[in-house]
Structure 1
Amino acid sequence: MTDKKNARRAAAQPVRRRLATGAAIIALATSTVYGTYPTPAAAQSYTFTNVSIEGNQRIESGTILSYAGIARGETVSGGELNAAYQRIQNSGLFEQVEIVPQGNTLVIRVVEFPTVNNIAIEGNRRIDDEALLPQVSSQPRRVYSPTQAEADANAIVEAYSQQGRIAARVEPRLIRRSDNRVDLVFEVFEGGVAEVERIGFVGNDQYSDRRLRRAIQTKQAGLLRALIGSDTFIEDRIQFDRQLLQDFYSSRGYVDFRITGVNAELARERDGYFLTFNVEEGQQFNFGAVNVSSDVNGVNPAAFRNVIRVSPGQTYSPALVERDIARLERLAIREGLDFIRVDPQITRNDRDLTLDVNYVLTRGPRVFVERIDIEGNTTTLDRVVRRQFDTVEGDPFNPREIRAAAERIRALGFFANADVNAREGSSPQQVIVDVDVEEQPTGSISFGGSYSTSNGFGLALGFREENFLGRGQRLGLQFNTGVDNQRYSFNFTEPALLGRDLALGIDLSYAETDQDNAEYNTSIGTFSPSLTFPVSENSRLQFRYTARYTDLTIPDESEVGSLVRAEADRGELIESSVGYTLSYDTRRTGLDPNAGVLLEFGQDFGGLGGDTTFVKTSARAVAQRLAFNEEVTLRATVEAGALAYDGDGSRVTDRFFLGSSRMRGFEPGGIGPREFDDANGINDALGGNYFAVARFEAEFPLGLPDEYGITGGVFYDVGNLWGLDSTNLNVLYEDGALRQVVGVSLFWDTPLGPLRFNFSEALSKETQDEEQNFELTISTDF
């Protein structure tokens, strides 16, 4: 293949338009005819009784005559002959044109453009032929056009520019073949990637350059620049960054913020850009008085005031106003009030830097949705797109609902582009909503590796499809194996069961451990279908059924205590339970861009068949806030659980353990009740029926360049694990005591995966607790 490309390159010739100067030929002929008759003042004219056309093979003579526009016997001037030449040349059919008057005969000689035999692209390594050939409009078996070839070369250059290779050059060349045919070869010089070497901001007083860099999509080139795509300079991305900056400041009350300019300076070597955003922040505004009024007769605004969520003194954000408007319009629909629109009237108070908001209820035009047309969805079914609309055919037209539906369609992640527009329908009172989407890949196959200080190295194979069979369903298969454990899982989610906001989930998993931090082996299989639905704007409720198989075995050579051995003697057990989880998550609506709260409470009730009867309760509260001008991230988590078993009680496969995911600084099974007999070599972690943990941490910049992706952190964990159904004299720490751990963290966000290094020290612990002073976790996909 390489020899063929070299041969093509050697035989290729630069494309040139070899055009004879028809006007010069006409002038030369004119001077010959009139050279013996010196009449300089007379206008030159010709009359031809015959027209001879030479050199044409594919193009009919009549076609050439029609371009020339000269009839036999017609008197024409030299200027008209030159115009005829230009018309023939501009037809784009001929490589060379000559017009020569010979007495009463006009001779038109042409050389036709060759036919394209084959099209090839040479020199491309970064972008393959399959991606570049669609950019080429020239086609085999058609007449070669230099203009089109140049346009195709520019299109290929643009494809490279989109990848940040602004130094790319493309030159079309011709290889002559027999029968007036040519091979069209585009020779590509790819050049290097123009990276963004530095991103700076001018005029920003409230937020640092570091914080603003996190708000935009373009990133500075870093240590792993060869693996990062967002550090290349792409002009279209800069426009998107402008909008991201505008949204960032607007959501924080800076209503006067504007970008006065963006300077992109190219380095002398043409391999990097220095990007500078010039901004004017303005003043930060809060909400002032918030009220609801009505211009519609019979509508009492007092009934609408209760649904308003913003309050005076809160930082102003257009997103909060939009959400209040949506709540007001939904209430109007529930009250049977059609065509109600909410017009927010903003009053600015510069003295106290507040914005008064008056939501005015008005009567909108009587316009209905005639139909919703969906195009471009070659894979995704229409109903997946249509269910993102709260509006159906025949409903009153609400522009705000259409915009919200457009955002939901884009948020699906199924489409590279999604445009939603409304146009007039069959009458002025009807509108048609056009949805034009462009599909993108939604599936992935992953092969990865993992490492942790507790489980060692492992392999992971996975398949995930976010839009299974174009139905909007999620399907996942995962296989993970480590030194001492294996896990296989399958999950499926139907997000809109029966066309409603009701998610059906099916989880199936099987896991085995082979003396993983213990002297016994476990096998656990789980099947759990669930239904999840919203109960409020930020709350969701899940109901589930769980069938669980557990087996606990002890290898012959293992030394275990009497409690674990008694639990293993119970053999294989089947659990059957029903449960629920209620969650409240403010991140769903982003009411505060600097803070988020997650609350979860769940219970499982065993005894619906199976071998065990139990109640398992868990609760979790998570809060996060950005502080110190959003430079520092503060997180706090409180988590607790309780397990109550009837009959023979719980086993180690049922009870809680505090691994590093719940409490740092200790080995998995490193704290809590344990059966300890040093003389017989017995040290069994038993887990506990109850646990309570509080974790606090702060993440902050270390002053290193942002492109390194390295930040630091400190943490403090305090918790306890206690409670057993059976005990003996060798059991330690059944009642438990609080353990406290402090530590520092190093975060490294890399394209290969997030790395976290934890260095910890226990402030309070028990004698037989097993510490883990260092922990490294890495997960990567190839």
Structure 2
Amino acid sequence: MSCFSNTSASGRKSIVSGRILPATIGFFLLASTASVVVPDVAYAQQYRFSTVEITGNQRIESGTILTYAGIGRGERVSAAELNDAYQRILASGLFESVEIIPQGNQLVIRVVEFPTVNRISIEGNRRLKDEDLMAALQSQPRRVFSPAVAEADAQTITEVYSAAGRLAATVEPKIIRRSNNRVDLVFEITEGRVVEVERLSFVGNRAFSERRLRRVLETKQAGIFRELIRSDSFIADRVEFDKQVLRDFYLSRGYVDFETLSVNSELVRARDGFLVTFNIREGQQFRVGEVTVVSDLEEADPDLFMDEVRMRSGAIYSPSLIEENIARLERLAIREEIDFVRVEPRVTRNDADLTLDVEYVLTRGPRVFVERIDIEGNNTTLDRVVRNRFRVVEGDPFNPREIRESAERVRALGYFSNADVNAREGSTPDQVVIDVDVEEQPTGSLSFGASYSADSGAAFTIGFSERNFLGRGQSISVDLNTASSSQSGTFRFVEPNLLGRDLAFGLDLGYVTTDSDNATFDTRRINFTPSLTFPVSQNGRLRVYYTLEQNKIFDVDNATASALLIADEAAGTLTTSALGYNYSFDTRRTGLNPDAGVVLRFGQEFAGLGGDAEYIRTTALLGAETKAWNGDVTLRGILEGGIHHSLGDTNSTVLDRFRHSSSQLRGFSSNGIGPYDSGDHLGGNYYAYARLEADFPLGLPEEYGISGGLFLDAGSVWGLDDNLGGTISDDFELRATVGFSIFWDTPLGPLRFNFSQPLKEEANDDTRSFDLTISTQF
């Protein structure tokens, strides 16, 4: 008996109405069993067949069918054994129907083969691509068609849509009969609407507001950009991930007893959204109590190791602090040539004063070595790119914590969609093999864009970047920009592991022509800058570089321009050859304090190694931010300044001097303050700015993505090597401005609208009451 009726070449037949239901399966088996023709005394009668006739088979050999039947010629069999033979043939999955008919000494086996899949097509899908869905299917062209496999494929496609937030999607597999016992398999999809998270709420939170906790989660409430933002789609796996993220958030802030009691996901009446509620228990916040180091090893001095601990009593307890200090102590043991040291933290809870005493115990770990590191799945990326992320090599002592950190560094490369790092026993019990299994993903991009700013007007940009050039881990980028007031082109190349070390080599080439930020003259700058960057501490990095520049000022109006600009133009093309360095210190690298961070940048440039310019340029920036009111308000302070000191008998040019940027002192246009002469701001040899900011919620629904901020800026640009006998005022004149900001998180990026009011300005300053920028951090 056949499950499928014949249809025309253009007709379609549903596969058991799109789903193989239990009742349908039961009916099928009942009908199939009925097709075994046996006498009424089947349970008592015995059969012996001298011949077996097989009919209906086209592709399957008769011998194969006999093998499935398991009935030998001349062998005595019962009716029950005939039924077993029928079941075995049917279970092979090769036939639509099977009949076993005893006719005297002859056994007749009639079969109807399943057709062959001619081709597979997917229809009705608009949100997901054919190739993405095809990759998940088990059914394949030129293979025997199986209704069970087709139904499983339909369920797989449904699950893929569910993972994309379309829980209402349905998939119906159908077949189109073709000649020569072939069929086309078609999956008809009804995608349905995205099921969104209409409301994301919390029960049991006391220390942190719902607004603050929502910012932690990957799942977001449906906002006004719901057609563009997919993070507001309801995905069950994402909710599970959010439970772990929420726990990490609380643990890093000392809430060691935190737990998510339950997550309730309720479908709204319209069935197009979920109400998700996290039921949590925060517990009490714990701080660090007494911190000690003890040693079970004679060669390890506890006092020496205690000096390396960076954890003070009274600080908010955080597991990341523990991990950081364990790493520091293990690195100290390596420097002291003490192998196989394991640091075990023992935490004692003091409920009376809500503190946790931490004792670091130095013990001898097992003598296990790394036999080798095996890397698989990197079809393009070279092995050495992955190996550079490991601080251990073959033959080093095995350290599980170091392997975990290496795995995180491999994932942080961004070259792989998945990276699994596991350890297994090697050729001997005292050796392990590190298996690295990666799955590569695209790392290149080609971008086109348009923008507008008050400083440069409308601009068009084309860019190309590749973060894993030729699989070597190198990055390369090319950007071309044209605006109404400037044109630029840049090329950048970075080798992050020069000579197999944590040493980055960079090469920058640039070409820029501008009207000098709305000045009455034009400039051209060409630069060539190789550099080396390397870590000097856990949070500090140092960059040393050489730069060769050619600068030119032209189109100066000799009738009206400042004598300084006329002299700069008369000098023609000037060459600058300089060595420099930049040091950066950023506590946000470790994240030991998730609510605060400090950034320090300091750099100097020494010009005079040939060329026309001789100077020492020094710049510095110090920034700090912290969160207040349980993380709802962010307070930020930034100080920055610079000095340009000309050497010998040279004077600074307008391109050497510091020029004001609208992001440094809001409320004033770019190059809109500082020494002024004959209609142009000339820049200065000195600059200093101070900025204070506060970001806070406005009380609007969070799905709008809109928050507010206040800022107070003060600073100035001043100083010239030649003020033309005092005719140009180049003294320090403080400017100050106050303003209000609106932050808007959009699919295009975080936008910032600044509304400014200068508190102190000079007569020739160019002020600006409104500014629209991309929101950035220091």
CA RMSD of aligned residues (A): 2.0
User: CA 1:278–1:9 in structure 2 vs 1: closer, same or farther (change >3 Å)?
Assistant: farther
Contact between 1:452 and 1:778, CA under 8 Å: does it hold in 2?
A: no
AA at the equivalent of 2:13? Q
- The corresponding residue for 1:30 is 39
Distance in structure 2 (CA, Å) of the matches to 1:380 and 1:506: 22
Residue 80 in structure 1 maps to residue 81 in structure 2: yes
Distance in structure 1 (CA, Å) of the matches to 2:427 and 2:119: 49
- The corresponding residue for 2:458 is 457
Contact between 1:450 and 1:778, CA under 8 Å: does it hold in 2?
A: no
Match 2:740 to one of 721, 740, 744: 744
Cα deviation 1:398-417 (Å, max 9, x = unaligned):
11111111111111111111
- The corresponding residue for 2:262 is 261
AA at the equivalent of 1:355? L
How much does 1:8 deviate? 10
- Secondary structure at the residue paired with 1:170? strand
- Secondary structure at the residue paired with 2:679? strand
Distance in structure 2 (CA, Å) of the matches to 1:158 and 1:8: 32
Distance in structure 1 (CA, Å) of the matches to 2:736 and 2:129: 57
Contact between 1:520 and 1:558, CA under 8 Å: does it hold in 2?
A: no
- The corresponding residue for 1:37 is none
Name which of structure 1's ranges 124-133 and 619-628 shifts more when overlaid on structure 2.
124-133
How much does 1:81 deviate? 2.7
Distance in structure 2 (CA, Å) of the matches to 1:649 and 1:65: 101
Distance in structure 2 (CA, Å) of the matches to 1:480 and 1:709: 30
- The corresponding residue for 1:436 is 437
Distance in structure 2 (CA, Å) of the matches to 1:161 and 1:560: 67
1:712-731 equivalences under 5 Å are 712-728=708-724, 731=727
Residue 639 in structure 1 maps to residue 640 in structure 2: yes
- The corresponding residue for 2:651 is 649
Structure 2 gaps of 5+ residues are: 1-6, 17-24
- The corresponding residue for 2:98 is 97
Distance in structure 2 (CA, Å) of the matches to 1:538 and 1:515: 36
TM-score (structure 2 length as normaliser): 0.94
- The corresponding residue for 2:201 is 200
- The corresponding residue for 1:699 is 695
How much does 1:622 deviate? 0.7
Contact between 1:451 and 1:777, CA under 8 Å: does it hold in 2?
A: no
How much does 1:456 deviate? 1.6
AA at the equivalent of 1:772? R
Contact between 2:382 and 2:471, CA under 8 Å: does it hold in 1?
A: yes
Cα deviation 1:122-147 (Å, max 9, x = unaligned):
22222222222212222222211111
Name which of structure 1's ranges 268-277 and 322-331 shifts more when overlaid on structure 2.
268-277
Distance in structure 2 (CA, Å) of the matches to 1:146 and 1:243: 40
Distance in structure 2 (CA, Å) of the matches to 1:20 and 1:112: 19
- Secondary structure at the residue paired with 2:381? coil
AA at the equivalent of 1:30? P
Distance in structure 2 (CA, Å) of the matches to 1:103 and 1:394: 76
- The corresponding residue for 2:4 is none
Contact between 1:673 and 1:736, CA under 8 Å: does it hold in 2?
A: no
- The corresponding residue for 1:672 is 674
Distance in structure 1 (CA, Å) of the matches to 2:408 and 2:442: 19
- Secondary structure at the residue paired with 1:227? coil
Residue 21 in structure 1 maps to residue 22 in structure 2: no
How much does 1:75 deviate? 4.2
- The corresponding residue for 1:658 is 660
AA at the equivalent of 2:562? G
How much does 1:351 deviate? 0.5
Distance in structure 2 (CA, Å) of the matches to 1:128 and 1:325: 47
User: CA 1:351–1:576 in structure 2 vs 1: closer, same or farther (change >3 Å)?
Assistant: same
Distance in structure 1 (CA, Å) of the matches to 2:112 and 2:632: 70
Cα deviation 1:387-429 (Å, max 9, x = unaligned):
1111110111111111111111111111111111111001101
Name which of structure 1's ranges 439-448 and 63-72 shifts more when overlaid on structure 2.
63-72
- Secondary structure at the residue paired with 1:634? strand
How much does 1:78 deviate? 3.4
- The corresponding residue for 2:151 is 150
How much does 1:435 deviate? 0.6
How much does 1:49 deviate? 4.1
1:307-318 equivalences under 5 Å are 307-318=308-319
1:197-346 equivalences under 5 Å are 197-346=198-347
Contact between 2:377 and 2:438, CA under 8 Å: does it hold in 1?
A: yes
Contact between 1:495 and 1:503, CA under 8 Å: does it hold in 2?
A: yes
Distance in structure 2 (CA, Å) of the matches to 1:103 and 1:667: 105
Distance in structure 2 (CA, Å) of the matches to 1:416 and 1:240: 17
How much does 1:253 deviate? 0.7
- Secondary structure at the residue paired with 1:298? coil
- Secondary structure at the residue paired with 2:93? coil
Contact between 2:556 and 2:566, CA under 8 Å: does it hold in 1?
A: no
User: CA 1:264–1:8 in structure 2 vs 1: closer, same or farther (change >3 Å)?
Assistant: farther
AA at the equivalent of 1:654? D
User: CA 1:120–1:557 in structure 2 vs 1: closer, same or farther (change >3 Å)?
Assistant: farther
Cα deviation 1:451-497 (Å, max 9, x = unaligned):
11222211111111111111111211111121111111111111111
Distance in structure 2 (CA, Å) of the matches to 1:190 and 1:672: 61
Cα deviation 1:693-719 (Å, max 9, x = unaligned):
000111111111222211100000011
AA at the equivalent of 1:396? P
AA at the equivalent of 2:769? N
Name which of structure 1's ranges 459-468 and 428-437 shifts more when overlaid on structure 2.
459-468
- The corresponding residue for 1:521 is 522
Distance in structure 2 (CA, Å) of the matches to 1:640 and 1:405: 38
Distance in structure 1 (CA, Å) of the matches to 2:9 and 2:705: 44
User: CA 1:473–1:22 in structure 2 vs 1: closer, same or farther (change >3 Å)?
Assistant: closer
- Secondary structure at the residue paired with 1:70? coil
- Secondary structure at the residue paired with 1:629? coil
- The corresponding residue for 2:140 is 139
- Secondary structure at the residue paired with 1:226? coil
Residue 12 in structure 1 maps to residue 12 in structure 2: yes
Contact between 1:595 and 1:623, CA under 8 Å: does it hold in 2?
A: yes
How much does 1:730 deviate? 8.1
Contact between 1:21 and 1:98, CA under 8 Å: does it hold in 2?
A: no
Contact between 2:32 and 2:97, CA under 8 Å: does it hold in 1?
A: no
User: CA 1:68–1:686 in structure 2 vs 1: closer, same or farther (change >3 Å)?
Assistant: same
Distance in structure 1 (CA, Å) of the matches to 2:29 and 2:362: 71
What is the count of residue pairs matched by the alignment? 759
Name which of structure 1's ranges 630-639 and 465-474 shifts more when overlaid on structure 2.
465-474
Distance in structure 2 (CA, Å) of the matches to 1:563 and 1:622: 35
Contact between 1:22 and 1:99, CA under 8 Å: does it hold in 2?
A: no
- The corresponding residue for 1:38 is none
AA at the equivalent of 1:432? V
1:251-650 equivalences under 5 Å are 251-514=252-515, 516-555=517-556, 559-646=560-647, 647-650=649-652
Name which of structure 1's ranges 13-22 and 124-133 shifts more when overlaid on structure 2.
13-22
Distance in structure 1 (CA, Å) of the matches to 2:103 and 2:269: 59
- Secondary structure at the residue paired with 2:644? strand
Contact between 1:120 and 1:184, CA under 8 Å: does it hold in 2?
A: yes
Name which of structure 1's ranges 690-699 and 498-507 shifts more when overlaid on structure 2.
498-507
Contact between 1:288 and 1:313, CA under 8 Å: does it hold in 2?
A: yes
Distance in structure 2 (CA, Å) of the matches to 1:547 and 1:467: 28
AA at the equivalent of 1:11? G
Name which of structure 1's ranges 542-551 and 123-132 shifts more when overlaid on structure 2.
123-132
Contact between 1:20 and 1:96, CA under 8 Å: does it hold in 2?
A: no
Distance in structure 1 (CA, Å) of the matches to 2:669 and 2:14: 70
AA at the equivalent of 2:229? I
Distance in structure 1 (CA, Å) of the matches to 2:571 and 2:562: 15
Distance in structure 2 (CA, Å) of the matches to 1:348 and 1:75: 78
Distance in structure 2 (CA, Å) of the matches to 1:560 and 1:13: 85
- Secondary structure at the residue paired with 2:518? coil
Distance in structure 1 (CA, Å) of the matches to 2:13 and 2:558: 80
Name which of structure 1's ranges 258-267 and 350-359 shifts more when overlaid on structure 2.
258-267
Name which of structure 1's ranges 13-22 and 54-63 shifts more when overlaid on structure 2.
13-22
- The corresponding residue for 2:21 is none
Contact between 2:723 and 2:729, CA under 8 Å: does it hold in 1?
A: no
- Secondary structure at the residue paired with 2:39? helix
Contact between 1:195 and 1:272, CA under 8 Å: does it hold in 2?
A: yes
- The corresponding residue for 2:3 is none
How much does 1:167 deviate? 1.6
AA at the equivalent of 1:670? G
